[in-house]
Amino acid sequence: MIRKFGLYFSGLVLALMLPACEKNVDIEPPTAIDAAAGFSTRQDVDAALVGCYNSLQSPNYHGLRFFLFGDLYTDNVIHTGTFPSFAQIANKAILPDNVEVTNMWNQAYSGINRCNNVIASAPNISDPAFNNAAAVAEARCLRAFHYMSLLSYFGGSETGFNKGGGLGLPIIQRPTLSPADAAPQARATEDDVWTFILADLDNAIANLPNAVGTGRLNKRAATALKARAHLYRGEWAAAEAAANEVITTGGYTLVPGATYTDLYLKKNSSEAIWELQFDANNTNQIAFFFYPTSAGGRNEVSASAGLRTAHTAGDVRLPVNVIAAGSLANKTQKYSRIAGDDNVIMVRLAEMYLIRAEARLAQNKVTEALEDLNVITARANSGAETSTDVATILDRIVLERRLEFAHEGAHRYFDLRRLNRLSTIGITQTFRNLWPLPQREVLTSEGVITQNPGY
């Protein structure tokens, strides 16, 4: 199958990247390294780690599609362009042969394969200047992120995550260095995938330093991802503990409401826990797909009217999420560089406050939940929440998450999935709560990989 060849090839010739994050490595990386000979020094492994981050930068992944489609599938973004594959997503009628789905899946598994190469190679490096355990931990943290990304779209159950009997993914732990390594693997259970993700994150937390380099994962970022994983699984005490650790010991601070646009117009703010780095040599397509032709874009997507009206008057996020008028009306300020060098925020401190708020609320810690929630409402100038009714507070948390993270990952889709609220945006065929696996992946596996029911 296509992915079989792709993973085999990437095992033999690991495409490392044009040098995104180049300021964090000590060498000038080549464009490709032969896996049989390229992992003999610490410089080789660090270059391979840079290549692991590069896999995220693809326009089929966090360079555009992965996080955009979560908003396009819900009620934050509308389709204003001509791509039929985008229209399927906007219309909530995705077909298994949708090329966007195929490309997202393949790119994520390519990233997993790059991580597996590092995980297999790093322990063999004998160099006093090289921290083998930290290199493995960084790759395992990235691998956990890939699997969590895939599971959020393609796995779980129709009613959310961690409900029992959920569908998982093929778990691939070894680098693809031969045709045998590329043989199709059956889907594991959802619970098995989560166990795998959490084991990788625990290893990362145990072995990563508190600070690495700009754009690189560290102990705090791994802890933040663990908080997100526990939130999705409804494991409230664990989610609260992980988010609390990041908030209280991470050294991050919220960007003030008066300069809220600095989160996006500048790079690597005090709020960013993990920010994917883009530059002139490593670009994304985000602003290009949002912005109109008059501004050099293709006008494929726009912010929805519903997203605009969900804000209250005076909310500092409104002009950032939805530009009010002019040639850029209904576009976003979060990505404004048509050249494609906007960074992409993967995790930031505001998410930790809202995770801790929801986790505390679920444990009936109402006062503490309101305190966390209102840290975010105060910064946004969206009006404090004063109700002590649990259902009302949860609705407000969901709303604040929508407004805070619009155009910034697939948070809206994943929130509605995990809370079993997709019917509120018109998805009445519950099998569509999960996306279909790529048809080619299913067909070429000759029955080894099964499709999600209903597709």
Q: Which pLDDT does position 40 carry in this prediction?
A: 87
- Residues 309-318 have pLDDT tens digits of 999 999 999 9
Please state, as a whole number, how many other Cβ atoms lie within 10 Å of the Cβ of residue 167. Answer: 21
- Residue 320 CB partners (closer than 8 Å, separation 6+): 260, 261, 264, 332, 333, 334
Beta bridge partners of 33: 14
pLDDT band at residue 35, thresholds of 50, 70 and 90?
low
- Residues 149-178 have pLDDT tens digits of 999 999 999 999 999 999 999 999 999 998
Q: Which pLDDT does position 212 carry in this prediction?
A: 84
Average pLDDT across the chain, whole number: 92
Question: Which has the closest alpha carbon to 168: 149, 153, 188?
Answer: 188
Q: How many Cα neighbours within 13 Å face the side chain of 190? A: 22
Q: Which pLDDT does position 85 carry in this prediction?
A: 98
Residue 11 reports pLDDT greater than 90: no
Q: Which pLDDT does position 36 carry in this prediction?
A: 52
Q: Which pLDDT does position 377 carry in this prediction?
A: 98
CATH class of 2-267+269-275+344-423: mainly alpha
pTM, 2 dp: 0.92
Q: Which pLDDT does position 38 carry in this prediction?
A: 57
**337, 211 in Cβ contact below 8 A?**
no
